[in-house]
Structure formats: structure tokens, C-alpha cells
Amino acid sequence: MAVTETPPETVAAAGSATPAATRPAPTGLAAVLGSGDHKVIGRLYIVTSLLFGLATVVLGGLFAFESVDAATLEVFSSGSVLQSFSLFRLATVFLVAIPLVIGVAMAVVPLQVGAPAVAFPRAAAASYWAWLVGSLLFIASYLMDGGPGGTSGSGVNLWIASFGMVLVAILLASLCLATTVFALRTSGLSLARTPLFSWSVAVAAVLWLFTLPVLVATLVVSYVDHRHAGGVLGGNAALAPRVGWALRNPQVYVVAIPLLGFFADVLATTAKARLALPGAARAAIGGAGVVSFGAVLATNDASAVETPLVIAMGLAAVLPALLIAGLIGDLFRRGSFRLTTGAVYAVSSLLLVLVATGAGALGSIPALETAGTIYDIGVAHATLVAAVIAALGGVHWWATKIGRQGANESLGKLVPLVLLIGGLLVSAPHLVSGIAGEGIETSPDWTGGIEGLNYVVVAGSVVLLLGLLLAAASFLPLFKASDQSPRDPWEGQTLEWLSPSPPPIGNFDADLPTVTSAEPLVDLREEN
Amino acid sequence: MTSAALVLPPAAPPARPRVLLVGTALASAATFMAFAWMIGLYVSERSAVVSAGGTWLPDGSNIPLTPGNMAFATMLISGVSIWWAVESVGRNDRQMAYLALALSILLGAAVINATSFLYSQIDLPVASTPGALIYTITGAHIAMLGFAMVYAAVMVFRTLGGEYSGRDREGLVAAALFWYVTIAVHAVIWYAIYIVK
């Protein structure tokens, strides 16, 4: 059976007048292992990536501690330090930030576009399990001394293959998400009316579909080179430089694109007003996609970062976030203001992404000579933490749709602020060290940075760890069953708030009305 | 909120969007990007060697034109046969559809055969830069072609099994789209590797 086949329960939910909620839902382990339900898959992605996130933050803190005195090794051995650092950098992107964003998107996007299921549900489920197995093998390859620079030939082969598996899984999830937005919207919900979060997820998914295959191809070539060709194309030593473009700006900005949609959706709801220029917001998010096309740096030529195209992309990357912020500012001028936890998350993540893209714009100026230094790591860390804040904000905002009831509000308001401080502390020292330039260790590896400033990074890692633990604590109510979970706790504007909380298989317990604007629930309130 | 939604007349069922076609288009674009990078790397490495005054293929290695040309010509013909399969399904002509599909798969197998014959003729060690790249790129293309063959077969059988009607042949159109992208990738490989070498 092809993985593209729509499962029977989805067809029934889409085509039958009988609500799919009446179908008995699978229980126990079968509900997890065998489920093609996008909410279950999303939850799996979220929980697993958060666990990886806790471990990754600890690893990052250890590296910062090690960098305080780079001349001596306190924690790692000389044989493992470079490999472990590559694990830390790759895990932040491919084991934490991207899957966390995908998890929230997987749970929410089908609801937002009024679809009964995600497109290709079996492929979506396969993406999670392939990502999980690939991630575990990826970590195992490091234990075999097989990361970039490792001495175990089999371990390096496993590293390449497992990393490829992780990427293919992410591509599969991206395919499901993009197809859901492009082809499974309900009646009247044109692309121009698609909620901004779903639109931003579609833009990010398409970007991943256009750029990550380049990384997969890189790994295929590297595998043949390492396994069969004796390293004529650089072999083991070339692995880390070849994948480096995926860990720096502009490519790393892709993971933050859904943040823009989350920010706009949440704050429009918070302000209880319609966005004045939704087309401009959509264009800004699309523009963020254009300037995040990092595959232009997938070349052996190190001077590619100084080409006019890449410089222009770096300078322009800050504009979409500024435009969205401006549009939301106008909302609050016309609407009202409520201090919702979602708004705190959204504002915190946007502030950090403004720092990231602003720093990236500054760093793209060739005269500052920051390219290839630890400055890139600072930009990447700020971007990734911003994306994580937004994703956790998504879990909080859509808690009644993702979990069984809402998250802890008072604790929730604290989390984004803690994470914002942690994000600034782990990224700012690297930015300062990169700008400081000559005479200081500025290489983009674990030895980089002004040694004293690395104490700040250690502190930042501790704060980030605290923030993640607080977030996990605030999400504990999501696991408890409740009959009192409201459909629409925030007076939302988009279709997901019409579904019961938690949503059943098939997502909606009644036929949806024809959508006539980008804010269908506002229309319903006005008509009634 | 809920009651407000329920009092409105339900929307007309959405015209079932072409989910499989959209998904296949995105997957095809992703696959094309992977090949674009690999062929770009091949051209870049070759250009670096040639501009430095070296020879690209090692001594004793050669890429004969005939098998590569035959493979590409066969691939082009398979584009016609897969189109024939789509048309036959559109007319609910089961016999012609099976014939066209069988021919397409046979032609696909012939392309794989011609490429493997080419491997036996070029005497190119994999432990060389051109060898590693040529075997990787053409091998990846064979994998892509294999997937296209399986995809087309599955979709034809599902269409003729009644999942899609003659007028609704989205599955086979999607498979045909992937097939055409496979041909497009082969065209680039043919020119960059077999002709330019």
C-alpha cells in the first residue's frame, strides 16, 4: 500500500455527514504507535524534541564552560570534543528546533485550514518514526566515534546515513504540511484567507523542500566518497564544512518563519481586531522565505558569503519581521489590549528574532569580517531560541487543541521571559566576540569567543534549561483529562477554535460554514 | 461560538483538491533540487580540473556515446508511453492502459539496463573524483527511475481498481508528472555527463 493513500477514516470524515467523532478512538499503545492522527503525531514530535532540547541545552552549557579556558579540557576528551560540538550544533537545528516547529504545525495547521486530517497521514506518521529512529542512530554514531572527524569508518558511515534519514523524515513532514495548506483548505478558504500561521508554515515547508534536498544530496555524495571512493572528494574531513551552510544564516532563518505567522495570529486575536493589510503580512512572510534560501551557500567557495546576492539577502532578512511588527502595532492602535500568555510568548520570540536578523544584517557587511567566525553561531542561537519560544508559545496558545486542557497560565507568562533572557545570554557573547575580531579566538567552533564572556553563555544555558523545565511544568495540565476544556478560550479568529477541545478524529463535530474572510469566526460573531 | 457556527447553512463540500498531484509536484521539485546540486558539483569540479590544465577523466577511461544516447532516447520514448497510459485511463480503456503501462515499465527497465551496460564500458574507478560523482549521480537517477516505475504501476492499478474514475485520474497524472521530472533530470545528466563528459 502506498504511503500516499488516504486512510479510510479520513475519507469517512471528509465525505460523510456523520461526524467522525462517533467512531471509537483507538486507545493505549495502538493510539500512539499506529496513529495517523495529526494531533498525535504533533504531540509525539513536541514531546520528543523537548526531551532532545533539554539534553542539547546541557551539552551547550558544557561547551560554554569548556570554552572559558580553551587551553585545557575539563569536560570532554581531545578525541571527542570536536565531534561533540558538531552534535550540539546539528542537534539544535535538526533534533530540536525544526521538529518542535513541525510538531506544533502538524497539530494545528489541519485545524486552522478546516481539514479533517493532515495530507498523507501515513506519510506524516512515517516522518515522525523515521525522524526518531534516525535521531537515535545519529546519536549512536557519535558514541561509535563516528561524527565528523571521527576515527571509526563504520561510525562515520552511520553518521552520514542517519543524518540523511533525519533529513528525509523532515522533508516528508514538510511535504505533508505544505500539501495540507495548498490542497486541503475548506470551502471559501483561499490562500489569501489562509491563517497567517498556516501560511508561514507552508512557506517554511516549501523552503525546506527546496533546500534540504541539497543537504541530502551532499550526504549521498559524501557517503559514496567515504564508503567507496576513499575520500577523493575530501572524505571525513570535508563533512563538517559541507553541512555548515545549513547551520548558519540565512538557512537557519527558515525555522523562524512560522514565528512570524504565530506572532500575527496571536496578537490579532489578542487585540480583537482584523489585520488591516493581510496581503502585506502574507507578502512579508513570503519575503522572509525568499531571503532565507540558504542553499546558495552550498558550495565549496568560502567567499560565497561575500557575493552581492548573499549580502542583500542578509541585509533584507530583518525587514519581514519589522513589517509584521508594524502591522501588529497598527492593530493595537485600532483594537484593544489583553495580556495573554500567547502574546507574551509572541512578543518575546519576535524581539529575539529581530535581534537575530538585525545581527545577521550587520554581520553580512563584509567590512566587519564576521563571516565564518563565532558571530554566525550567535546569530544562529538567537534565531533558534526565538523559534523555540514561538513553538512553545504555540503549544500554550493551542493547548486545548494539542492536549486535553489549557496550560498553566501564571507559569506560562514567566516562561517566555526566562527563555528570552536565556536566548540573549547565549547569543550576545558570541556576537560581541565575533565583532571584536583580530587577536581573539573567533573560529566557529568550541574554542571560539572571548574566554571571560563564555561565563555569560554558561549562565545563559542554565537560564534556558530553567525556562524549558518551567515550560514543561506549565504544560503538565495538557496531559490531564477534562470535560471543561473550552472550544475557544481566546475568542479566536480562525477555524481551529470551532473544533471541540480536544478535537476528535476528523477534527470537527459539525459541518463548517463557507469561509468568506481571513477571520471567519469574527464574521460569525458579527452575523450573530 | 459553537452555536453561532451551527446556525449557518453548511458549506458546500469543497471540490476535492488534487492532494496527490500537489504532493507529487512538491516532491518532484525537491528531488530536482537534489540533482541540481549534484550536477552543479560535477560541473564545478570538472571545470576546476580542466581550467587547471588537467584532464577530467583518468587515463584509460572513456564514456562512449552510444549507450548514453540509447538510454536517453529510450527515456524520451517512455514519456510518450506514460502519456499514452494516462490517456487510456482517461478513456477507461483498460487494455490499452495496461499495455501502455507495461511498455513504460519495460522502457524504464531498458534505461537501467543501458546505464548498467555503460558502467561496464567506461572503465572508471569509483575511487576517483569523476568516478565518485558519475556513479553517484547516475545511480541516484536509477533509484529515482525505479521509484517512478513503482509509482506509475501502483497508480495505474489503483485507478483501474476503481479508486479513480476515468475522468478523475489524479493518481496517474501525478505519477506521470514524476516520470516527466525523471526524464528532465536524465536530460541534464545526458548533456552534462554523457555529452560534455
Q: Mutate which of A4, A182, A187, A226 to test chain B, going by most B C-beta atoms within 10 A? A: A4
The answer to whether residue A436 sits within a structural domain is yes
Distance from CA of B43 to the nearest CA of A (A): 12
Q: What single DSSP character describes residue A12?
A: H
Query: A178-201: buried (b, 16+ CB within 10 Å) or exposed (e) per residue?
Result: bbbbbbbbbbbbeeebbbbbbbbb
**Within-domain flag for A421:** yes
A11 part of a folded domain: no
What's the pLDDT at A260? Answer: 96
List of chain A residues whose C-beta atoms are within 8 Å of the C-beta of residue B136:
220-221, 224
The cell numbers describing A451, all together, are 574566554
Which chain A residue lies closest to B27 (C-alpha atoms)? A175
The pLDDT of residue A3 is 38
Is A29 inside any structural domain?
Answer: no
| ipTM for this model | 0.90
CATH number for position A107:
1.20.210.10
Task: List the domain range (segments joined by +) for residue A42.
Answer: 35-527
Cell of B119: 558502467
A170, A221, A499: best mutation site toward chain B, by most B Cβ within 10 Å? A221
Is A395 contained in some domain? Answer: yes
- What is the full per-residue pLDDT of chain B (197 aa) written as tens digits? 444 444 555 665 555 568 999 999 999 999 999 999 999 999 999 999 999 999 999 988 889 999 999 999 999 999 999 999 999 888 888 889 889 999 999 999 999 999 999 999 998 999 999 999 999 999 999 999 999 999 998 988 887 787 776 677 888 899 999 999 999 999 999 999 999 98
- pLDDT of the residue at A101: 98
For the record, the C-alpha cell of A526 comes out as: 458579527
Domain B19-195 has CATH 3.30.70.1350: no
Residue pair A325/A350 in contact (Cβ under 8 Å)? The answer is: yes
> CB contacts < 8 Å between A and B, how many?
144
Query: Does some domain include residue A294?
Result: yes
Q: Cβ separation of B17 and A183 shorter than 8 Å?
A: yes
And the C-alpha cell for A32? 500512539
The residues of chain A scoring below 50 in pLDDT are: 1-21
**Does the distance separating the beta carbons of A300 and B44 come in below 8 Å?**
yes
Count helices and strands (H / E) in chain A.
19, 0
Q: Cβ contacts (< 8 Å) between A213 and chain B: which residues?
A: 30-31, 33-34, 37
Residue B130 CA to residue B136 CA, distance in Å, equals 10
Chain B: closest CA distance from residue A297 (Å): 11
Residue ranges of the alpha helices (H) in chain B?
A: 2-7, 19-51, 65-90, 94-122, 129-160, 170-189
- Contacts A220 to B, Cβ<8 Å: 34, 38, 136, 140
In a domain, A208, yes or no: yes
Asked if A514's CB is within 8 angstroms of B133's CB, the reply is no
**Residue A17, pLDDT score:** 42
Number of domains in chain A: 1
Answer whether residue A109 is part of any domain: yes
